């Protein structure tokens, strides 16, 4: 197995009836399903799923079928969002908490609950550089918690029941590999004292844009002589002249702002024909979803 990328995800239980039955889905950013450099869709995902403390961890190999019909649901409006149905029986005993549909931030309830810039947000991500060997062996996936504020709500009321939808922006640092991480907004209850609040699923991390304005152009003229031992020189085979070369390093400037993909379209997945097809493909091909109690790439 060759690992080509790393990201985060959220398990979401999509209700399929009023009796409490649901289909488990992995919710993540669509761009996590393709190779970052080539753009080629991946053959599958390897997911680590929470189990009770003291149990063995569970790793699930999820195949991806990217040609039509697909075994995952994509945002119908083109948001960077997918929901991948996975067999419930294979993760029996897991300790995952999930959000109800009523806890998803939507254009409608964001107005009703006065969700606006300035509210506290929490991001739960898997930060690869801060994971040790024990993190892959222990049963739980213990995320890194980051806190910030909502900088811009992506919903704008156009009137007559219509809304403009774009990514939310939060004042919180994110890094490569945080894509798909859960972002929760803490919403104070309406009232005079605001002594209670509720956690609502705002969205998942999409990424950040490089801060282009932070780059300062630097020009270093070439010379035909050098007396510094630390210089890098080019020597002409014809004339024997040397030219000092200046090496410039350019790093990514993160403005500490992060785009968050709204997840309101997860409401009513059972009514989506694409989701029903994806769920049917998952059920008919459930034998291809392998589960391991060790990290398969280690061979242990």
Domain ranges of the chain: 10-215+250-298, 217-249
pLDDT confidence of residue 239: 66
pLDDT confidence of residue 214: 66
Which residues, 6+ apart, have CB-to-CB distance to 273 below 8 Å? none
DSSP 288: G
pLDDT confidence of residue 99: 85
pLDDT confidence of residue 254: 74
Which CATH code, of 2.170.270.10, 2.40.10.10, 3.40.640.10, 1.20.1090.10, is assigned to 10-215+250-298?
2.40.10.10
**Rounded to 5 degrees, what are φ and ψ at 162?**
-110, 150
pLDDT digits 0-9 by tens, 221-249: 544 445 555 555 556 666 666 655 555 56
DSSP string, 162-198: EEEE--EEEE----TT-TT-EEEEEEEPSSSS---EE
pLDDT confidence of residue 159: 87
Q: 5, 28, 2, 62: which is closest to 266 by C-alpha? A: 28
Report whether 81 contacts 183 (CB < 8 A). Answer: no
pLDDT confidence of residue 235: 62
> Splitting the chain (300 residues) into consecutive groups of 10 residues, what average pLDDT does each group show?
83 86 92 90 91 87 94 96 91 76 94 94 90 88 92 93 93 90 93 81 92 65 51 60 57 83 95 95 94 74
Category of 198 on φ-ψ map: left (φ > 0), alpha (ψ -120 to 50) or beta: beta
pLDDT confidence of residue 20: 78
pLDDT confidence of residue 124: 93
pLDDT confidence of residue 228: 55
Give yes or no for a cis peptide into 248 (omega within 30° of 0).
no
pLDDT confidence of residue 164: 94
Q: What is the CA radius of gyration of the chain?
A: 24
């Amino acid at each position: 197995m060759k690992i080509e990328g790393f990201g985060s995800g959220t398990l979401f239980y999509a209700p399929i009836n009023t009796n409490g039955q649901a289909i488990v889905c992995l919710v993540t950013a669509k761009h996590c399903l393709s190779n970052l450099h080539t753009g080629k869709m991946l053959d599958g995902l390897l997911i680590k799923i929470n189990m009770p403390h003291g149990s063995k961890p569970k790793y699930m190999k999820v195949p991806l079928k990217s040609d039509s019909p697909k075994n995952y649901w994509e945002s119908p409006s083109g948001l960077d969002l997918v929901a991948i149905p996975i067999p419930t029986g294979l993760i029996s005993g897991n300790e995952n908490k999930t959000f109800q549909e009523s806890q998803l931030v939507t254009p409608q309830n964001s107005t009703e609950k006065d969700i606006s810039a300035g509210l506290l947000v929490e991001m739960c991500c898997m930060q690869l550089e801060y994971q040790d060997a024990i993190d892959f062996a222990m049963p739980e996936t213990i995320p890194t918690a980051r806190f910030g504020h909502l900088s811009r709500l992506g919903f704008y009321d156009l009137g007559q029941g219509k809304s403009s939808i774009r990514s939310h922006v939060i004042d919180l640092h994110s890094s490569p590999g945080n894509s798909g991480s859960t972002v929760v907004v803490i919403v104070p209850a309406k009232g005079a004292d605001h002594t209670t609040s509720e956690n609502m699923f705002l969205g998942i991390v999409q990424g950040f844009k490089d801060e282009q304005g932070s780059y300062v152009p630097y020009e270093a003229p070439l010379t035909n002589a050098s007396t510094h031992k630390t210089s890098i020189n080019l020597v002409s085979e014809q004339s024997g002249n040397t030219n000092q070369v200046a090496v410039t390093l350019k790093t990514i400037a993160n403005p500490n702002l992060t785009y968050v993909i709204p997840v309101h379209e997860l409401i009513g997945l059972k009514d989506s024909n694409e989701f029903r097809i994806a769920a049917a493909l998952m059920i008919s091909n459930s034998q291809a979803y392998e589960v391991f109690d060790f990290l398969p790439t280690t061979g242990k």
